Amino acid sequence: MGIRGGLRPLAALRDQLRRRTPENLDPVTVDRAPSELVPVVETLNELFNRVASSLAWEQRFANSAAHEFRTPLTAIKTHLHVASRVSGEPRRQALANAGKGVAQLQSVTEQLLLLSRLERNNAVASEGCLIDRAVEDVLEDLPGRERVRMENRCKEGRVALPRALVVVVLRNLIDNALKHSAGSCELILDCSDCEATAGGSHLRVTLRDRGGPGGSDSGSVSSESHGLGLPIVHMVVNQFGGSLVSEHNEAGGMDWQLALPLLSTG
């Protein structure tokens, strides 16, 4: 009887889990649980919490992706309808606008394909890349390049990510700031700082939005209007042991702090 009574809380936990639907991620509770079972219950609840957070993020991402597809598709349909009813210069302009919608749709598709590749591969073998070269690649053909000012370039910093992914991270981050910062305010890109943490050495890249009339909305990750760029930045840097944080600065804009792991020379 003593053994059976001692196993009763474990049986209660088993029955709770057996009755659960896949959507139920609420914490489990076990009355009068022995001390040996408490860590198991706590670990289960921590797991449920992580899964719930992950599912919520995926739902927000799916909503954003749907928005990013609907917007250019609606525009393309509208412009093609206009083109079918007019001629001359108005028709040419309508077709040109439809072409812009196709280009936007292509960009969204490429971002989703990149995300799919990242999810399939937990790690990507890499010899790293020089951050300065990646910055040059981004700024070379960046729309709005005249608004970005470089400070303190880091010519020797080699980060432990493939160059193509560093370019994607920087381009998405800068593009988000260009689209959602106030007016035509200046952006400052600084790649000079290195720091040692418990997780290793990191190169810190700072992107500063100087704000301006109307303030800045570039800091929100959940807004549909910000598209897929920031979620992809977060996924890439998290996968490689980096981080991305943002905070409002005294100029009324945002400071983005991107920490990328440095390639080990050992």
Asked which of 31-35, 36-40, 151-155, 186-190 is least confident by mean pLDDT, the reply is 151-155
pLDDT at 224: 44
The answer to whether residue 178 is domain-embedded is yes
Q: CA-CA distance, 183 to 212, in Å (whole number)?
A: 7
Taking only the tens place, the pLDDT of each residue in 84-134 is: 999 999 999 999 999 999 988 888 888 788 777 776 665 554 578 888 888
pLDDT higher for 151 or 260?
A: 260
Does one domain contain both 27 and 78?
Answer: yes
d(CA 14, CA 20): 10
| Same domain, yes or no: 232 and 159 | yes
Residues 66 and 143 in one domain: no
Indicate if 73 and 116 belong to the same structural domain.
yes
Instruction: Judge if 110 and 155 occupy the same domain.
Output: no
Beta-sheet strand order (sheet of 254-261): 148-151, 187-197, 200-209, 254-261, 243-248
233 in the same domain as 171:
yes
Contacts of 138 (CB under 8 A, 6+ apart): 167, 170, 171, 174
The answer on 139 and 35 residing in a single domain is no
pTM reported for the whole predicted model: 0.65
Alpha helix segments (H runs only) across 20-148: 38-83, 88-120, 131-140
Domain co-membership, 1 together with 83? yes
CATH code for the domain in which residue 229 is found = 3.30.565.10
Joined together, the tokens standing for residue 218 give 């570039």
Instruction: Report the run of H or E that residue 150 belongs to, with start and end.
Output: strand 148-151
203, 193 contact by CB (below 8 A): yes
Among 71, 93, 120, the domain boundary falls at 120
Residues 150 and 113 in one domain: no
* Selected residue with higher pLDDT from 210 and 46: 46
Domain that holds residue 42: 1-120
Same domain, yes or no: 5 and 72: yes
Question: Is 266 contained in some domain?
Answer: no
Contact partners, residue 59, CB within 8 Å, separation at least 6? none
pLDDT digits (tens, 9 = 90+) for 9-21: 888 888 888 998 9
Asked if 144 and 104 sit in the same domain, the reply is: no
Q: Could you tell me which residue, 117 or 140, shows the higher pLDDT? A: 140
| Domain boundary, last residue among 58, 87, 120 | 120
* pLDDT tens sequence across 151-181: 877 767 788 888 888 888 998 898 888 887 7
Domains in the chain, number: 2
Does the pLDDT of residue 238 top 80, yes or no?
Answer: yes
**C-alpha dist (Å) from residue 179 to 146, 202, 214:** 14, 28, 14
Asked, for residue 244, whether it belongs to a domain, the answer is yes
Instruction: Report pLDDT for 95.
Output: 95
